[in-house]
Amino acid sequence: MASLKSRIHRYRYWRFLLLPALFMLLSLWPLQRLAERYYTNELLEQNRQTLDLYVANLLGTLRRYEVLPNILGDLPVLRALLDHPQDASAVNQANQLLAQLRERSGSDVIYLMSAEGQTLAASNWEHPDHFIGRNFSFRPYFQQAMTGQRAQFFGLGTTSSKRGYYFGAAIRDAERVIGVLVVKIDLDHTETLWGHTPEQLAVTDSFGVVILTSRPDWRFSATRPLSETEYEQIRLHRPYPTTEPSQLTWSSDTWLIQSRELNQIGWTVRILAPVRQVERSVHTVVAVGGATVLVLLLWLSLLLQRRRHLMERLALDAQARRDLELRVQERTCDLEALNTRLKEEVLEREHAQQELVQAQDELLQAGKLSALGTMSASISHELNQPLAAIRSYADNARVLLDHQRVEDARTNLGSISELTARMASIIAHLKAFARRDPHIPERVALQPALEDSLSLLAARCQSLNLELIREIPEVTLWVQAGETRLRQVLTNVLTNALDALEELPASAPRTLWISTERQRNRVVVCIRDNGPGFTPQSLQRALEPFFTTKAHAEGLGLGLAICDSLIRSLGGILHLANHPEGGACIRISLRCAAPDTDFSDKEPS
């Protein structure tokens, strides 16, 4: 599924890229056209200047010699020869002069012809192929000069085979033409001037035949079809080495042609620049353009690719976010369900706790009642004893009153009053013991509570003949407790100690230690006896309800369990242990109460 998606993505990506690619490639075509036009114009401009230069040079060369035959024709030496053509010295003088003039003018040959076209004297008289004696009457320049026209002619030298331009002028005696003076200029050098450039030079004459060119293979080729008359003229005047010039065509696909007409002499000068010269530059431009397009395309593709990656990453991020949100939602649902369950459980626990508290309360009450039952013997003993004493004091008082011993009777009545007060105190303690006690800790003085418990057990202590060792400070120790609860705990622990001491043989010394100690913000009451101590099992289980090692009638196994619960409800700790020297050692650790604790809600006694 994911791969199909990514394939679709990639297809879209390439389609997106194809359009600009096509556009960029298409933009290369106008670029090519532009470059073509630019480079063609540049080349044409450059060649136009070259053409102008060349034409100026060519025309300058020709014009320099144009008037020379006219001027030289008046020279007396030449006229003298024309008058006496057979005179050897005249011929010699004329030859000498013409040779000198040629050298000075820089022309190729200067020669003098008779009115019949016979060469009488020539500057090249010393050369083996000199012109003297030769007849050039067939040449147009001779015929033109003879008829009084401007005598100009391009042609190949019939003896020298060198291309030249001939200027002729008639020499007249009055109106009669007596001879013709001809100056031939060498045009070969104008060709060699061109040099080796890609552009080619082609000068065509009035027949359209190439007479000067930088390409030897083009020389003397006709650039247009020749008419029969023109062929005849060529055959007659023999300007070229051949009478039938071959045909030459310049294709516009290969050459860029610029031409200039030289109307005076009927020539056309052309510069032919190879089209491939422009093509090369155009190709370079197109290649650079193509490379730029390619770079642009690559850059574009890179951009697109980066954009695609970004989109993919964003999509992945969005997906991950959605997944996370979904997971969070699921988790929230789970947590809500858990929370509801927990609430239910809390409710259940609270309910159970309430039930437990109620059960503990019931248990406590049961424990108290059981303790009352256990203590009933000593209570009846405690109350019977003062009752018996009261009775005997009352009997005695009656006897004493009978004997008028009023003072003694008053003393007895006083004793009776004291004993009733003591009995009231005992009953008050029992009442307090049996009452249900609110579980709020309050400030209680430790020493009076201890005294109360001991006084409750005083008769038993006496009967056991035990030694009581107290290590209690004078200053009142205030603890966080409940008046009744603390008394109940102390009485219970002391009763257990007495029970343990009772188990000792009658002759064995019995000792009970009661001490207190301060531990930072706590007061610890330590009640130790030298009885048999806890058995390992009772040490482990003594705090369990209904655990007892005593005979059924004596113990219910609730005492320490209730004490532990009471002490814990007061924020204290009940700790059971055996003393290293034998006997049990019970430590009751209670929180200290600040002396300024409010007593307003002190429980009623």
How far is it, in rounded angstroms, from Cα 288 to Cα 294? 10
Distance CA 479, CA 595 (A): 9
CA–CA distance, 64 with 107 (Å, rounded to integer): 10
Cβ 433 to ligand ADP shortest distance, Å: 15
Q: Between residues 96 and 538, which has the closer beta carbon with respect to ligand ADP?
A: 538
Strand partners, 580: none
54 or 534: CB nearest ligand ADP: 534
Q: Which is nearer to ligand ADP, 16 or 547 (CB)?
A: 547
Residues linked to residue 165 through DSSP beta bridges, in sequence order: 154, 185
* Cα–Cα distance for residue pair 506/503, rounded to 1 Å: 9
Which C-beta is closer to ligand ADP: that of 260 or that of 579? 579
Integer Cα distance of 72 and 58 in angstroms: 23
Least gap, CB of 479 to ligand ADP (angstroms): 22
Angle between helices 275-402 and 406-434 (to 10 degrees): 160
Is residue 602 within 8 A of residue 482, CB to CB? The reply is no
CA distance 5 to 98: 101
Least distance (Å) from ligand ADP to the CB of residue 361? Answer: 18
- The least distance separating ligand ADP from the CB of residue 440, rounded to whole angstroms, comes to 25
Residue closer to ligand ADP by CB (options 43, 556) is 556
Site residues, ligand ADP (CB under 6 A) = 496-497, 500, 529, 531-534, 538, 542, 547-550, 555-561, 584
Q: Minimum distance between the CB of residue 390 and ligand ADP, rounded to whole angstroms?
A: 33
| Shortest CB 336 distance to ligand ADP, Å | 47
Q: How far apart are CA 390 and CA 415, in angstroms?
A: 8
CB nearer to ligand ADP: pick between 267 and 513: 513
CB of 599 to ligand ADP, least distance (A): 31
Taken in order 528, 531, 536, 540, the sign of the CA dihedral is negative
- Contact status, residue 203 vs residue 211, Cβ threshold 8 Å: yes
Residue whose CB is less far from ligand ADP, 517 or 544: 544
Largest CA distance in the chain: 234
Q: Kindly state the smallest distance separating residue 404's Cβ from ligand ADP, in Å.
A: 55
Q: Rounded to an integer, what distance in angstroms lies between the CA atom of residue 24 and that of residue 20?
A: 6
- Between 465 and 521, CB nearer to ligand ADP: 465
Do 590 and 522 touch, CB atoms closer than 8 A?
yes
